[in-house]
Each structure stands twice: as C-alpha cells, then as structure tokens.
Amino acid sequence: MLVHNTKRLIRFILRRDRIRLLVWLVSIIGLTLIFSVFFGEMFPTQEERDIMAETLKNHAMVAMIGPVYGETYTQDIMYAHEMLLFSIVSVAIMNILFVARHTRKDEELGRLEVVMSQPVGRLANLASTFVVAIGINLIIAVLTGVGIFALNSDTMGLNGSLVYGFSLGMSGLCYAAITALFAQVFETNLGVVGFSFTFMIVSYLVRAAGDLGSEALSYLSPMGVAYRTYPYYKNNWLMIILLVLISLVFAGVALYLNSVRDHGAGLVASKPGRTHATRFLQSPLGLVLRISRTSTIAWLVGIYVLGASYGSVLGDLDSFFETNEMFKLMLPQNADYTMTEQFITLILVILAMCGLVPVLQLVLKIRGEEIRGRNEHIMARAVSRKSYLACYVFSSAILAFIMQFAAVVGLWSSGSAVMDSPLSLGRMLANGLVYMPAALLLLGIAVFFVGCLPKASSAVWVYLGYCFFTEYMGNLLKLPKWTKKLTPYGYTPKLPVDEMKPLNLVLITVIAFVLIWAGFAGFNKRDLEG
Amino acid sequence: MVILKTEDLVKKFGNFTALDKVNLEVKSGEVYGFIGPNGAGKTTTIRILLGILQATGGKASIFGMDSWKDAVEIHKRIAYVPGEVNLWSNLTGGEVIDLFVSLRGNNSKSRRDELIEMFDLDPSKKCRTYSKGNRQKVALVAAFASDADLYILDEPTSGLDPLMEKVFQKCVKEVKNEGKSVLLSSHILSEVEKLCDKVSIIRQGRIIESGSLKELRHLTRTDIYVETRQELLGLESIDGVLGLSKKDEGYLVQIESDTIGHVMEYIANFGIVRLESMPITLEELFMRHYEG
C-alpha cells in the first residue's frame, strides 16, 4: 500500500516538531491577535483612519500592501488591508520551511532512507507531511478567525474574521503544496527552499503588478487570490475555495511525482560545478567573500527595498503626523524642522541598524567557521591569524559602508518621487553616513569578542538589539535619557535635525579602533577550537 | 637531521591535562607512526605542532623553528590532513583543492589532476554531497599535490575504502622516496606497520612506547610454534616462558624476547621437528599496552 503507516509518521512528525510548530503557531496567531486589538487603539477615530487611507493610496503602498478597498476605511477593513499580505508571507515562510524539512532535507541527509526501509508506503512520508500541514493551517485559520472576533466583537464581525483567518491558512496550504512539488523536482534542500522562496517573492510581485495594473494578473498569484477575499467587505469565500483547489492540484502533482521517481533523485539533476577555482577564490579574502556572497546580495536588495518602502510614505507625512498622537511621540520634538525631516532621521537610524545585521554576521562568521572546524584548513597553511581575521574585518567594514549607501539610495529614490521638496542625494547620503562610526564601534565590539571572549560572541546581538530598542522605542516609551547614552547612536548627531558634532564621531571611531586592535591581539594569542 | 621535535610538551585545558611531557622526534626521510586510542592526545599534539593551540609547557618545533611563533613560515613547507575534514558546503571539491594548494604559497598543480584521478574523486561536485571518505580525498589530494617537506596526516584513511587505502599508501611511499618526512597518526595498525619506520604509542597524554618496530618487538615477547620428536615436558618451569598451550601436534610458546636463546636450548633437547616464529603484530603490542 502506498500510504501504509502514514498515521505513525504523522505522530513522528508531531513528536519531532512539537516545539518548533508550537513556537510558529503561537507567534503567528499571537501577533495577529495582538495587532487586531492594537490597531483599534492606534486609530480610534474615523478621521484618523481616513487620513491613513489617503496616505496608503499611492502606487508604492499599493504595491506593498495591496489597494485600499471598501466604501469607508473602517477599523476592520483597515486591519485586513494592512495586515493580510504580511501575515500571509509569514505563514508561507513557516509552511515552506516545514515542508522542505520533512521532505527533501530529510531525504538529502539520509534520514528518510532509514524511515523508508521500514514497512511504510512509498507516499507515506509526503502524505503525512501534507496531513500535518493541513492541520497547522486549519489551526491558524480557525484560531485567528475566532480569536479576532472574540477580542474585537464590537468592531469586527465573525464572518469577516473567519474569511481573514481562512485566507491566511489556505494560502499557507498553497505554499506548502508548492514546496512539496519543488521537493520532488530539485535534488537538494537548498534548491527546494531557494525555489520556494523565489516563488513566494515572485507571487508577491505578480500580485503587486496586478494590483497596480491589470487585475487579472493578481489571480495568477496565491497572494492575489487571497487578497481578493476582501475580508469584512465582500467576504468572498469563493476565493478561499479557489485557494484550496490550487493546493489540491499542486499536492496531487507532488504525490504523483513522488510515486514515480527514485529515492534521492529529482527531476532536475543538480548540475556539476566548477572543477577548478577561479583566481578570485584562491586567496583567503576571496574565500571570505565567496562564502558570504549569497547572503550579502540578499541583504543588499533587502535593505534597498526597506529604504525604498520607507521613502514611499514620505509624501504626505506631515498631515498624517499632525493627527496621530502616537506617531508624534516616536519622534524627538523639534519645532525648527518639519515632521518629515524628523521622521527621516528616525528612518536613517533604523536603516543604519538593520544594515548592521549582515555586517556583524560576516565578521562573526570567522567564529562560526572556527566552531565548524574549517578555520583549521586555513590556519594550517601559510596564512597568519592576523591576515585571516583582517580579511573578515576589512570586508565587513566595507560592507557596512555599502549597506548604508544602499539603504540611503533606496530611501532617496522613492522618497524624491513622492516628496514636494525632496532632499538631494548628496545631503541624504551625508545624513546617512554619519552613522558609520557607530557601525564601526559595533563591528569593533564583535571583533573584540571574537578575539578575546569567543564563547560570548553572540552578546553583540543583544547590544545591537538594545541600540535598536532605545533608538526606536525610547521616545515612545519615555525611557530615561541615560538609556540612550549607553550606545554610540546616543552620541551620534541625528542629521539634519541635530547639529554636527565632529568630536563625538572622532571619539567613537577611536574607541572602535581600540576594540578592533584588542580583538586582533586576543585572536593572535588564543587557542583555536575546531 | 631532525625535522620535527617536541620536548616535554604539556597542554592543559583548565584542570584537565591533555598532554603530559610528550617527546617526539621525526628525522628527515622518516615515516613516523603516532598511534593511540581516541582521546589519547594525538590530535592535540598535532594542533600544537601546527600552532593552532599554544603549549602550556615544553617546546614544539618544526624545521628548527618554533611551532607557535613561526607558524606561517613553517606552514609554507608542510602539508596537513585533519582527522575530521569539514568543508564549505557550496564550494566544489575542485575549488577547495585549488584554494588549499594556493594558500600554501608555492604551487605544484601538475600533480593535482593525476591525484584526483588516482583517488577517483569527482571535483565538480559540491562539498555538501561528499561522504566522509570523499571529503578526506579532497584534503589528501590537496596535501599530496603540495610540494612539502613534511606531511602531517591525522587519521587520514578512517573513511577510505581498502582500494583507496592502497592509493594512499602509494602516495606516502612516493613522498618517502623523495626524502620527505611524514608524521602519520592512525588507528589502522596494519597500515602503520606497512609504512612506518618508527612508532610512538601515546596513552592518556603520555608516550608509553617509542622506537622502531623492530625495537618495540624486541622489548616484548616472541611467539613460536614448535613440534618436537619427544613429548615436550617441563617447559612451563623454565625462566622466560610466559605462556604455553597445546596446538595441533605441538605447542604455542610465548617467550620473553631476551631469554629466547636460553629457552631454545632447552627445547632442542627434545628434538625439534618444526619451528615457526610468529613476530608479534602491532595490534597485539597495542592491545597489551591498553589492557595492561
């Protein structure tokens, strides 16, 4: 029998993933519910919501979160409009990782072979993965639907909430089925996950194109279909049935392919790679750049898009901020500057810190390489410790600069399109690059840990989180002033609102270099693990 | 000429003493076997020699230079294969070999393709798809494609099949013939017996036996099988006889090596019909040290 022992495998999957799935479900459902309450409190009056709706009616925002719909922008519609697509993306990510893990990843690692050698059917593994996927997506659909209604029963109806929940869950199912299909096609987990995420991004972009232009295009994307349920307005259950049908088709094809292919094989054989290293790779620096290439490119694109999406709302910010007390509180109050200018300083600081994530990842990679026993190959050859660490430090310092550059260009390119009196790129760059000394300081802390306290290296993430929290939420939560003075961002002049303070920047840079120097000294002296 | 030398090498990890006065000496042109059970300190010793770990006490030197201070200079002239070969999952085997060879400085790429063929490795595959044996082949090809004066090999054949072990042994013999030195840490005693001129046995961070295989055997016992015309009587009471058991038509006798002449004289009185000497294998030597 093809599905013999599927029930046992379902239990096995649940046993293996009980914590993982629980964390995913609690975070997705929890955040959805928390935001449903939060939205009501953030925009209590219709007037504020109408202004918000106007802000969201430009092309950039439609591309990002979908068109504003409904006759009046009521609280429930506003919630569904602003939350649905992002929630679908997070549910899709969960489904992609879950399915890939239980199909191709298990197969690639040889774990599935052990299972298949037991008396289980050929399709039992894929079938059990599907059953669990259906289960978790139904849980998301029902619990978010019922939960939103239960928490906001006076403003958000049951039918609309259920439509919202099911568009979420059934789009999740679509992405699960697609991933299962890719798992039959590609030979490696990396390929499966890569193509599934690419599919997700493309379906997001196709929907954006459809929402901006021809409506029909949106129906080619599960996200476009899910969006067209219009929760709390049209409550179109037909679209949800369509999502289920799409999932069934993909799942059916996946099951068929699974039944006819060899274990371990894919429809697309992985193509052979280079048999020789390029000149570029034949040096320690080349190696460092090569092993961080993919994630660096992804982060560069990501930070550009993040900058551009912040930029797209710069157009009619002033009227928006005037009416919303909460957003006003997030900014330092300075009457000499417009709300937009003050908002730009906040965005630049946030972008600067987001852009540091890949920078710190890159410099901490030398520690990851050490733990995985790969530094040994380099250290046993004619490469000194100093020069190897320098490769990492040098490339991450350059990356810090490039990331901030990409973020500012992103912000400027969309901001200048929507603003009445846009800032020049040069001024915007100057405002953004003022955070470079702070970036160097965090880089210095990371190098210090790598060299002197390697086991505690991840502490630098905690510190970055602290910087982020105090800068982003400090004003809103009315945190005491000294909390900001524990980070380099607290001493960096927030251009253009603050005055330039060259001495501060010089001091931060000096401290950064002292930390980097100490890190090098420590790295030169300590035992390497492996 | 002494190529590699450790003098009273001590390494402590916190309170744990991993190495307790380890002395090794590898001379030019020697293949030196370094054997011992898991966790005895073989890899720790090698990593100190490579300057990856710093010794707590004693001295480690290669080519007369300090292992820690002159690491880079030393590494230009050595090739190393680690016991656990971890590679970058998204680089191909060929790329890693080229990288490793070029990081040593003086390239010798002519042998690369020949070695890849000998070890039957597909260099176009990503490292993530390689089995343990194939990852070891990558490290071995990179090592033997290098023109080094000393090869440090840490259990290099633990994942290889018997065919590939032969290829490996051929490579070691070749570099030996070129007058290069090899430090070979291994579990596979038949391999050490075949390849090594000298052996050190390490246990719990201490060298418990060192010398040529001949010397090591001499230090211990000799096993013989003997058949005599008359019934062999009273042998068990002769000095130097460690064990005696009946087998087929004759006896298996274990004799302490330095008393062998004296024992043989006694046996000769019974009229020897057949005599076979069975030299102790390294494995027996090894087991005796670890059990005792």
Domain end marker among B158, B193, B216: B216
SS (H, E, C) chain B: CEEEEEEEEEEEECCEEEEEEEEEEEECCCEEEEECCCCCCHHHHHHHHCCCCCCCEEEEEECCEECCCCHHHHHCCEEEECCCCCCCCCCEHHHHHHHHHHHCCCCCCHHHHHHHHHCCCCCCCEHHHCCHHHHHHHHHHHHHCCCCCEEEEECCCCCCCHHHHHHHHHHHHHHHHCCCEEEEEECCHHHHHHHCCEEEEEECCEEEEEEEHHHHHHHCEEEEEEEECCCCCCHHHCCCEEEEEEECCEEEEEEEHHHHHHHHHHHHCCCEEEEEEECCCHHHHHHHHHHC
B165 and B38 within one domain: yes
In the predicted model, is pLDDT for residue A197 greater than 80? yes
Q: Say which range, A32-41, A134-143, B66-75, has the weakest mean pLDDT.
A: A32-41
What pLDDT band is residue B219 in, cutting at 50, 70 and 90?
low
A vs B, Cβ pairs < 8 A, gives 107
Q: How far, in Å, CA of A235 to CA of A162, rounded? A: 9
First to last CA, chain B: 35
Contact A476, A329 (CB under 8 A): yes
The alpha carbon of residue B105 is apart from the nearest alpha carbon of chain A, in Å, by 7
List the domain range (segments joined by +) for residue B80. Answer: 2-216
Q: Say whether A491 sits in a helix, a strand or coil.
A: coil
| A133 or B283, greater pLDDT | A133
In the predicted model, is pLDDT for residue A238 greater than 80? yes
The pLDDT > 90 percentage for chain B reads: 54
Amino acid A103: pLDDT: 95
Best mutation site among A104, A190, A275, A385 for testing chain B: the one with the most B CBs within 10 Å? A275
In the predicted model, is pLDDT for residue A316 greater than 70? no
Q: How far, in Å, CA of B37 to CA of A420, rounded? A: 76
The pLDDT > 90 percentage for chain A reads: 63
User: Which residue of chain A has the CA closest to B93?
Assistant: A275
Tokens 């060879």 correspond to B101
Q: Which amino acid is residue B173, in one-letter code?
A: K
Amino acid A418: pLDDT: 78
For A428-464, write each residue's pLDDT tens digit: 999 999 999 999 999 999 999 999 999 999 899 999 9
Tokens 């090999």 correspond to B153
User: Which residue of chain B has the CA closest to A290?
Assistant: B91
A16 HSE (CA, 13 A, CB side): 13
Q: Say whether A458 sits in a helix, a strand or coil.
A: coil
B206 and B233 within one domain: no
Contact A364, A395 (CB under 8 A): no
Q: For chain B, what is the domain count?
A: 2
Q: Say which range, A75-79, B6-10, B261-265, has the weakest mean pLDDT.
A: B261-265
Which one of B50, B88, B100 has the shortest CB-CB distance to A291? B88
The alpha carbon of residue B76 is apart from the nearest alpha carbon of chain A, in Å, by 5
Q: How far, in Å, CA of A19 to CA of B221, rounded? A: 60
Amino acid A414: pLDDT: 84
The alpha carbon of residue A375 is apart from the nearest alpha carbon of chain B, in Å, by 9
Q: How far, in Å, CA of B278 to CA of A178, rounded? A: 68
Amino acid A165: pLDDT: 97
Mean pLDDT, range A397-409, rounded to an integer: 96
Q: Do A276 and B98 touch (CB under 8 A)?
A: yes
Q: Do B72 and A190 touch (CB under 8 A)?
A: no
Residue-by-residue DSSP string for A381-395: SS--HHHHHHHHHHH
Please state the length of chain A.
530
The alpha carbon of residue A111 is apart from the nearest alpha carbon of chain B, in Å, by 14
B185: CB partners within 8 A, 6+ apart: B33, B34, B35, B42, B43, B46, B83, B153, B154, B155
Q: Which of A244-248, A429-433, A498-502, B249-253 has the highest mean pLDDT?
A: A244-248
Range 294-323 of A in CB contact (< 8 A) with B:
294
SS (H, E, C) B165-190: HHHHHHHHHHHHHCCCEEEEEECCHH
Domain end marker among B216, B234, B257: B216
Amino acid B49: pLDDT: 96
Burial class (CB in 10 A: 0-12, 13-18, 19+), A421: exposed
Mean pLDDT, range A117-127, rounded to an integer: 92
B153 and B43 within one domain: yes
In the predicted model, is pLDDT for residue A313 greater than 80? no
Q: How far, in Å, CA of B195 to CA of B282, rounded? A: 12
- Could you tell me whether strands B241-247 and B221-228 are parallel, antiparallel, or unpaired per DSSP bridges? unpaired
Beta-carbon neighbour count of residue A153 at 10 Å?
11
Across all residues in chain A, what is the average pLDDT?
A: 90
Contact B60, B49 (CB under 8 A): yes
Q: How far, in Å, CA of A510 to CA of A491, rounded? A: 14
In the predicted model, is pLDDT for residue A55 greater than 90? no
**What are residue A108's phi and psi, to 5 degrees?**
-65, -40
- With beta carbons under 8 A apart, name residues in chain A contacting B104: 381-382
User: Which residue of chain B has the CA closest to A523?
Assistant: B52
B159 and B22 within one domain: yes
Q: Which token pair is A416?
A: 């200048």
B233 and B134 within one domain: no
Describe the strand order of the beta sheet including B31-35 as a list of residue ranges: B78-81, B150-154, B181-186, B31-35, B198-203, B206-212
Q: Which amino acid is residue A504, in one-letter code?
A: N
Best mutation site among B70, B81, B91, B110 for testing chain A: the one with the most A CBs within 10 Å? B91
What pLDDT band is residue B147 in, cutting at 50, 70 and 90?
confident
Q: CATH no. for residue B270?
A: 3.30.70.980
A490 touches chain B (CB under 8 A): no
B226 and B204 within one domain: no
Q: Say which range, A44-48, A403-407, B42-46, B186-190, has the weakest mean pLDDT.
A: B186-190
- Could you tell me whether strands B181-186 and B150-154 are parallel, antiparallel, or unpaired per DSSP bridges? parallel
B108 and B225 within one domain: no
Q: How far is CA A70 from the centre of its chain?
A: 29
User: Which residue of chain A has the CA closest to B12?
Assistant: A527
What pLDDT band is residue A478 in, cutting at 50, 70 and 90?
confident
**Selection from B220, B198, B221 nearest residue B211 by Cα:** B198
Which one of A277, A379, A526 has the shortest CB-CB distance to B94? A277
B272 and B195 within one domain: no
Q: How far is CA B254 from the centre of its chain?
A: 26
Q: Do B124 and A376 touch (CB under 8 A)?
A: no
Which one of B52, B87, B96 has the shortest CB-CB distance to A528? B52
Q: CATH no. for residue B189?
A: 3.40.50.300
Q: How far, in Å, CA of A488 to CA of A434, rounded? A: 11
Which one of B76, B82, B98 has the shortest CB-CB distance to A382? B76
The pLDDT > 70 percentage for chain B reads: 94
Which one of A284, A372, A526 has the shortest CB-CB distance to B103? A284
Q: Say whether A439 sits in a helix, a strand or coil.
A: helix
Residue A486: left if φ>0, alpha if ψ -120 to 50, beta else—which one? Answer: alpha
**Selection from A10, A38, A29, A159 nearest residue A91 by Cα:** A29
The string over B69-86, giving b where at least 16 C-beta atoms fall within 10 Å of a residue's C-beta and e elsewhere, is: eebbebbbbbbbbbbbbb
B273 and B135 within one domain: no
Residue-by-residue DSSP string for A393-437: HHHHHHHHHHHHHHHHHHHHHHHHHH-SSPPPHHHHHHHHHTTHH
Q: Which of A437-451, B150-164, B243-257, B269-283 has the highest mean pLDDT?
A: A437-451
Mean pLDDT, range A168-196, rounded to an integer: 93
Q: Do B125 and A272 touch (CB under 8 A)?
A: yes
B9 and B144 within one domain: yes
What pLDDT band is residue A58 in, cutting at 50, 70 and 90?
confident
The alpha carbon of residue B102 is apart from the nearest alpha carbon of chain A, in Å, by 6
Across-strand partners of B35?
B186, B201
Q: Which token pair is A465?
A: 């989180």
Across-strand partners of B202?
B207
User: Which residue of chain A has the CA closest to B152?
Assistant: A380
Q: Which amino acid is residue B90, in one-letter code?
A: N
Q: Do B98 and A528 touch (CB under 8 A)?
A: no
Range 261-300 of A in CB contact (< 8 A) with B:
270, 272-277, 281-284, 286-287, 290-291, 294
Contact B202, B40 (CB under 8 A): yes
Please state the length of chain B.
292
The alpha carbon of residue A258 is apart from the nearest alpha carbon of chain B, in Å, by 21
Domain end marker among B216, B236, B271: B216
Beta-carbon neighbour count of residue A482 at 10 Å?
9
Beta-carbon neighbour count of residue A63 at 10 Å?
18
B157 and B97 within one domain: yes
Tokens 């774990």 correspond to A111
Amino acid A332: pLDDT: 67
Q: Which token pair is B137?
A: 């082949």
In the predicted model, is pLDDT for residue A390 greater than 90? yes
User: Which residue of chain B has the CA closest to A278?
Assistant: B95
Amino acid A39: pLDDT: 83
Q: Say which range, A139-143, A216-220, A316-320, B153-157, has the weakest mean pLDDT.
A: A316-320
Mean pLDDT, range B46-53, rounded to an integer: 94
Contact B183, B32 (CB under 8 A): yes
Q: How far, in Å, CA of B65 to CA of A85, rounded? A: 64
The alpha carbon of residue A378 is apart from the nearest alpha carbon of chain B, in Å, by 7
Does a cis peptide bond (omega within 30 degrees of 0) precede residue A496?
A: yes
For B5-35, write each residue's pLDDT tens digit: 999 999 999 899 999 999 999 999 999 999 8
Q: Say which range, A113-122, A357-366, B162-171, has the weakest mean pLDDT.
A: A113-122
**What are residue B152's phi and psi, to 5 degrees?**
-110, 115
Q: How far, in Å, CA of B10 to CA of B21, rounded? A: 5
B226 and B139 within one domain: no
Residue A5: left if φ>0, alpha if ψ -120 to 50, beta else—which one? Answer: left
Q: Do B52 and A283 touch (CB under 8 A)?
A: no
Q: Which long-range contacts (CB under 8 A, 24 or more apart) does B8-14 make?
A: B8/B57, B8/B58, B8/B59, B9/B45, B9/B48, B9/B55, B9/B57, B9/B58, B9/B59, B9/B60, B10/B55, B10/B56, B10/B57, B10/B58, B11/B41, B11/B44, B11/B48, B11/B53, B11/B55, B11/B56, B11/B205, B12/B56
Amino acid A326: pLDDT: 66
Across all residues in chain B, what is the average pLDDT?
A: 88
Amino acid B256: pLDDT: 81
Mean pLDDT, range A259-281, rounded to an integer: 84
